[in-house]
Amino acid sequence: MLNKEEIRTLEEKVVNVLKNIFDPEIPVNVYDLGLIYENKVAENGKVHILMTLTSPNCPVAESLPAQVKEELSYLTGVSEVEVEITFEPPWDQEMITEEARLELGLL
């Protein structure tokens, strides 16, 4: 069982991993792109990611969530990874971080 500090540390590591997974069509990581709606780590080390895609017809609809699951499963302390896809609320450019918008020339 993980204590609160270990959970917080693991959540930070999850974010770091997510910041190294890029949408192949947009040169921004999935975290800064705003595709990650929720990142929860339970006491038993189970990670739950609630994420969306840029569109329901996204060409990486199968591979991107699988990549997120695989990459997070390598973290020490993670016992299981569950990736849930949602389209509510629908993704839009307002969800992109300011830093990423600047990088994309949207500011």
- Tell me the pLDDT tens digit for each residue of 83-99: 999 999 999 999 999 99
Q: Could you tell me the two tokens for 36? A: 């990650």
Q: Which residues of 32-51 are buried (b: 16+ CB within 10 A; e: fewer)?
A: bbbbbeebebeeebebebeb
Type of residue found at 70: E
In order of their start, the domains of the chain are 4-95 (3.30.300.130)
Q: Looking at residue 24, what is its pLDDT?
A: 83
- Across the range 53-72, mean pLDDT stands at 91
Q: Is 30 a residue whose pLDDT tops 90? A: yes
pTM: 0.91
